[in-house]
């Protein structure tokens, strides 16, 4: 989906359309007061004070009609530059604009744009005439606190988008519709994959049997891969003493993202937000020689983070998550090779899942934010330059983003876009010189001296939660065979004549660990066939007279109209091959 802000022409057009919206609202609601109307990735919005009135969809239609009328009139848009004093005078009845004007530094030029009977304070630039804004769509309206502060008044935020041509607008609206259809929350409900409940709370999802099956397969898949690459998996507790996080530095730099402490008698416990501290202790538990390194400790590990209730989103952003986590303890001379191995593992996994739309991001600290990031310039510079060097040498394209690092070090994040346009991190690989210091980790080097290892934190699938959200949106719920909750659905044409043989087929497949369902409901064949498709089951087997008499099966692949016939043996062989290859 296009990011409107990244296209100069579309930015100007959408910003002009926000003014057109404000003008129409002013016509229909003369008492309306306007706050700001910026361009966003999805188009534009305008925050409007309607004195407590909540706009309905019918209102949006009326506003839209008025906008069309104004656009048709085709008034020119004029720019005017005025002094602060004149601006204060001109907008004296509009407290929000006065607020903006007062924030202008003395002496700076203030510009206004006028179209017909409407003038708005604006830096510009704008298109020449309101006529250019005629291909727009108002998308929705929502409440938004003035200045984003929940102590303030709720304003009406109207969202819209504008294009140069009707065709471009329609194409964009089609994409939006498709994105809505792909939203993992919608598909998750339709396919019974996961659910939330208000009695459990925001950001706390329950994986239903279908979703749990997919997750179990993902867990097996990634664990097998990691074991082959020399990882050792552990289990560690989800709780720890607050002291652990004081040692690690989480207490100073990550406390706001954690659930509050549980105080019992003279103990203080906390739910862990990350697994690194536990893994540091596992490393420290034994003496290590330089020859033992790298040591790779992996865990499929539940973590708890106090995400804002407004920010949680289906499985994409949750408060309890399960990381596909590992910490690699390496010698400084092994950083390059181990980071490369992690990057290659990411690329290998992406190939298996056919993930092609992603970007590598080098996430750096914000030097001025000493609260969020551990304060040691030298350590940061070393870690950042090491990671940058490895990436450059690997020939990986990446962009840099300040303020996105972990508190303990810079990260190489893989960014993807969700269906509804969220930019989120899927995989991550992080370089850390700090935690080995804080936990006083050592190994014995080739000269028999104590030396400090470096830690690489990495999560390939990220969390199973977020990966599942991504996978649902990528596949639209039509999982590959090896992941499908139900792999084969058997439909007897007529229960009276074909059920017995159908049951036999089911038992045979089930005994070979194929996930199979027998649809023996007294419904029409066509209904059951449609139902099988809507549940996105990869193979639908049909058992009728021919199949029963010849002792074979006929099947239809998801999304196909043709039916193939095979002996049960051949069918099984084909399934095994496809499952094994995880194609
Ligand atoms: C990789 N200590 C490291 C670990 O060793 C760590 O915790 N890194 S992290 O903070 O970046 O989290 C790892 C991954 O978890 C992220 O890359 C992201 O894919 C996923 N993730 C983070 N927050 C959430 C959340 N609230 N919901 C779902 N997944 C999340
Ligand atoms: Zn970690």
Task: Give the separation between CA 344 and CA 229, rounded to whole angstroms.
Answer: 11
CB-based contacts of 137, cutoff 8 Å, min separation 6: 64, 160, 161, 162, 169, 173
The helix or strand, by DSSP H or E, that contains position 201, with its residue range, turns out to be none
Q: Which two tokens stand for residue 240?
A: 């720890």
In this prediction, residues 346-352 reach a mean pLDDT of 96
Q: Which CATH number fits domain 4-175: 3.30.980.10, 3.20.20.220, 3.40.50.1980, 3.30.70.20?
A: 3.30.980.10
Tell me the mean pLDDT in the region 363-374.
86
Residue-level pLDDT at 18: 96
Q: How far is CA 147 from the centre of its chain?
A: 26
The burial of 461, by beta-carbon neighbours within 10 Å (0-12 exposed, 13-18 middle, 19 or more buried), is given as buried
pLDDT on residue 289:
98
For every residue of 324-366, DSSP letters joined together read: EEEEEEE-GGGHHHHHHHHHHHHHHHHHHTT----EEEEEE--
Q: For residue 376, what pLDDT band results from cuts at 50, 70 and 90? A: confident
- The closest alpha carbon to 424, from 368, 367, 366, 465, belongs to 465
Q: How far is Cα 289 from Cα 443, in angstroms, rounded to an integer?
A: 5
Per cent of the chain over pLDDT 70 is 100
Four-way CATH pick for 194-475: 3.40.50.720, 3.30.930.10, 3.40.190.10, 3.40.605.10: 3.30.930.10
Mean pLDDT of 469-474: 96
Beta carbons of 109 and 79 less than 8 angstroms apart: no
Say which of 59, 120, 325, 465 is annotated catalytic: 325
326 CA to centre of ligand 2 in angstroms: 7
Tell me, what's the pLDDT at 87? 87
Q: Which residues line ligand 1 (CB under 6 A)?
A: 274, 276, 305, 307, 317-318, 321, 323, 325, 327, 425-426, 428, 457-459, 462-463, 465-466
Q: What is the mean pLDDT of the segment spanning 345-349?
A: 96
Instruction: Give me the count of residues in the chain.
Output: 583
CA-proximal residue: ligand 1, atom 12 (nearest): 462
**With b meaning 16 or more CB within 10 Å and e meaning fewer, what string describes 307-346?**
beeeebbbbbbbbbbbbbbbbbbbbeebbeebbbbbbebb
Q: What is the pLDDT of residue 90?
A: 87
What mean pLDDT, rounded, does the chain reach? 94
Can you give the residue ranges of every domain in the chain?
4-175, 194-475, 488-581
Beta strand 516-518 pairing with 488-492: parallel
CATH class of 488-581: alpha beta
Active-site pick, 97, 411, 536, 556? 411
Q: Pick the closest to residue 375 from 384, 385, 362, 365 (CA basis).
A: 365
Q: Is the pLDDT of residue 370 over 80?
A: no
**Span 73-125, pLDDT tens digits:** 989 999 999 888 888 888 888 888 888 888 888 778 899 999 999 999 888 89
Residue range 537-574, pLDDT digits in tens: 999 999 999 999 999 999 999 999 999 999 999 999 99
Residue from 115, 205, 323, 334 carrying the catalytic annotation: 323
* Ligand 2 midpoint to CA 242 (Å): 17
Q: Which residue shows structure tokens 């972990």?
A: 406
**Domain 194-475 identical in fold to domain 488-581:** no
Instruction: Give yes or no for residue 303 having a pLDDT over 90.
Output: yes
The rounded Å distance from CA 372 to ligand 2 centre is 16
């Amino acid at each position: 989906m296009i990011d409107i802000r990244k296209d100069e022409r579309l930015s100007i057009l959408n910003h002009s359309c926000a003014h057109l919206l404000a003008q129409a609202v002013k016509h229909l609601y003369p008492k309306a007061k306007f706050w700001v109307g910026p361009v966003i990735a999805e188009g534009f919005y305008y925050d409007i004070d309607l004195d407590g009135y909540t706009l309905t969809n019918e209102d949006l239609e009326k506003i839209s009609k008025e906008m069309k009328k104004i656009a048709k009139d085709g008034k020119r848009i004029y720019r005017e530059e005025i002094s602060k004093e004149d601006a204060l005078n001109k907008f004296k009845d509009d407290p929000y604009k006065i607020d903006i004007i007062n924030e202008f530094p003395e002496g700076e030029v203030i510009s206004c744009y006028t179209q017909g009977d409407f003038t708005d304070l604006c830096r510009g630039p704008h298109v020449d005439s309101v006529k250019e804004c005629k291909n727009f769509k108002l998308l929705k309206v929502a409440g938004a606190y003035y200045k984003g502060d929940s102590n303030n008044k709720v304003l009406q935020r109207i969202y819209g988008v504008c294009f140069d041509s009707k065709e471009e607008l329609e194409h964009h609206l089609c994409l939006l519709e498709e994105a809505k259809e792909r939203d993992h929350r919608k598909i998750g409900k339709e396919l019974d994959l996961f659910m939330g409940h208000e009695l459990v709370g925001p950001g706390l999802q329950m994986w239903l049997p279908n979703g749990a099956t997919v997750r179990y397969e993902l867990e097996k898949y990634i664990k097998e891969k990691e074991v082959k690459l020399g990882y050792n998996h552990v289990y560690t507790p989800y709780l720890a003493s607050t002291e652990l996080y004081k040692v690690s530095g989480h207490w100073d730099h990550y406390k706001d993202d954690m659930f509050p402490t549980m105080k019992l008698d003279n103990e203080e416990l906390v739910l862990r937000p990350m697994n690194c501290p536990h893994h540091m202790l596992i490393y420290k538990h034994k003496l290590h020689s330089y020859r033992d390194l790298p040591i790779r400790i992996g865990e499929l590990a539940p973590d708890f983070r106090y995400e804002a209730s407004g920010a949680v989103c289906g499985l994409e952003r949750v408060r309890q998550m399960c990381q596909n986590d590992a910490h690699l303890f390496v010698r400084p001379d092994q950083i390059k090779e181990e980071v490369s191995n992690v990057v290659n593992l990411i690329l290998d996994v992406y190939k298996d899942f056919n993930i092609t739309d992603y970007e590598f991001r080098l996430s750096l600290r914000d030097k001025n934010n000493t609260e969020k990031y551990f304060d040691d310039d030298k350590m940061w510079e070393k870690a950042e330059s090491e990671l940058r060097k490895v990436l450059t040498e690997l020939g990986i394209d990446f962009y840099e983003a300040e303020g996105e690092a972990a508190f303990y070090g810079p990260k190489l994040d893989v960014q993807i876009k969700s269906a509804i346009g969220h930019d989120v991190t899927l995989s991550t690989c992080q370089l850390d010189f700090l935690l080995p210091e804080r936990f006083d980790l050592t190994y014995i080097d080739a000269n028999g001296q104590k030396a400090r290892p470096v830690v690489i934190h990495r999560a390939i699938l990220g969390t199973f939660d977020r990966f599942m959200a991504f996978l649902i949106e990528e596949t639209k719920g039509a999982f590959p065979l090896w992941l499908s909750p139900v792999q084969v659905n058997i439909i007897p044409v007529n229960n009276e004549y074909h059920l017995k043989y159908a049951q036999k087929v089911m038992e045979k497949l089930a005994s070979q660990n194929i996930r199979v369902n027998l649809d023996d409901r007294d419904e029409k064949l066509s209904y059951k066939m449609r139902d099988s498709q809507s549940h996105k089951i990869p193979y639908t087997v049909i058992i009728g007279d021919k199949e029963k008499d010849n002792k074979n099966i006929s099947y239809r692949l998801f999304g196909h109209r043709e039916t193939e016939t095979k002996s049960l043996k051949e069918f099984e062989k084909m399934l095994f091959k496809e499952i094994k290859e995880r194609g």
